[in-house]
């Protein structure tokens, strides 16, 4: 699955079984975390109104700066895809998983390194089970709105929103630089041993 992962930002309306979601989240919990503190909390959002609010938050973050920032940086095709995702595509997924870090269990310095490996496990498991997903962090910029919507206590901080659902269309292959371009041997810039 590793080499087939691609962000999915357009979803079919078909529902996803609770058992499948739980399986995907279980895979997430097998990621490493600092001191094995397992500081993750997953809010599975299915309620249409709540998904709509998250969609609005996302669209607002995108319109209020995200798009302007990305416009000149993204290839036109990718920009169009992100655009469609941010303005409704992602919120249309039947399930949005809001991945949070619990600061009573985990240390702030180690929070990102403890949460994003779990997020990656989550997405790999989703792919293995035929689901599309995407790693979005934009809505977390609107922490207060998400906290109010989901009833998050102060110490539980949203870090990513992952849509899950059946892809609306086939996802193409991911585009990556050849790994050799980013590998150094013993010293930066030393590309061969």
Q: Give, as one character, the DSSP assignment of residue 34.
A: G
Please state, in angstroms and rounded to a whole number, the distance separating the CA atoms of residues 5 and 124: 7
Question: 101 burial class (0-12, 13-18, 19+ CB within 10 angstroms)?
Answer: buried
What is the footprint of a second copy within residues 72-111 (CB under 8 A)? Answer: 73-74, 78, 110
Per CB under 8 A, the segment of 55-63, 83-91, 134-142, 163-171 that binds a second copy is 134-142
With CB under 8 A as the contact rule, the residue among 16, 121, 139, 165 that binds a second copy is: 121
Minimum CB separation from a second copy for residue 25, in Å? 5
Q: Does 16 bind a second copy (CB under 8 A)?
A: no
Name the region of 74 (left: φ>0; alpha: ψ -120 to 50; beta: rest). beta
Site string for a second copy, 162-181 (x = CB under 8 A): ------------xxxx-xx-
Q: Give, as one character, the DSSP assignment of residue 11.
A: B
With CB under 8 A as the contact rule, the residue among 60, 87, 88, 120 that binds a second copy is: 120
Please state, in angstroms and rounded to a whole number, the distance separating the CA atoms of residues 61 and 47: 21
Please state, in angstroms and rounded to a whole number, the distance separating the CA atoms of residues 31 and 37: 11
Binding site for a second copy (CB under 8 A): 2-3, 5, 7, 18, 22, 25-32, 34-36, 38, 40-47, 50, 70, 73-74, 78, 110, 112-113, 115-117, 119-121, 123-125, 134-135, 137, 150-153, 156, 159-160, 174-177, 179-180, 182-189, 193
């Amino acid at each position: 699955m590793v080499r087939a992962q691609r962000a999915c930002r357009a979803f079919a309306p078909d529902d996803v079984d609770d058992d499948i979601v739980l399986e995907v989240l279980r895979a997430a919990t097998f990621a490493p975390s600092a001191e094995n503190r397992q500081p993750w909390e997953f809010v599975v959002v299915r309620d249409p109104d709540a998904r709509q609010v998250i969609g609005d938050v996302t669209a607002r973050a995108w319109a209020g700066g995200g798009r302007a920032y990305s416009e000149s940086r993204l290839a036109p095709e990718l920009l169009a895809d992100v655009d469609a995702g941010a303005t409704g595509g992602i919120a249309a997924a039947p399930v949005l998983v809001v991945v949070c870090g619990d600061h009573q269990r985990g240390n702030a310095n180690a929070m990102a390194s403890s949460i994003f490996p779990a997020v990656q496990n989550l997405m790999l498991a989703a792919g293995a089970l035929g689901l599309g997903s995407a790693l979005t962090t934009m809505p977390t910029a609107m922490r207060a709105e998400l906290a109010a919507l989901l009833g998050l206590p102060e110490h539980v901080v949203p870090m990513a929103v992952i849509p899950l659902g059946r892809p609306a269309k086939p996802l193409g292959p991911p585009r990556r630089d050849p790994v050799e371009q980013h590998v150094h041997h013993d010293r930066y810039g030393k590309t061969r041993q």
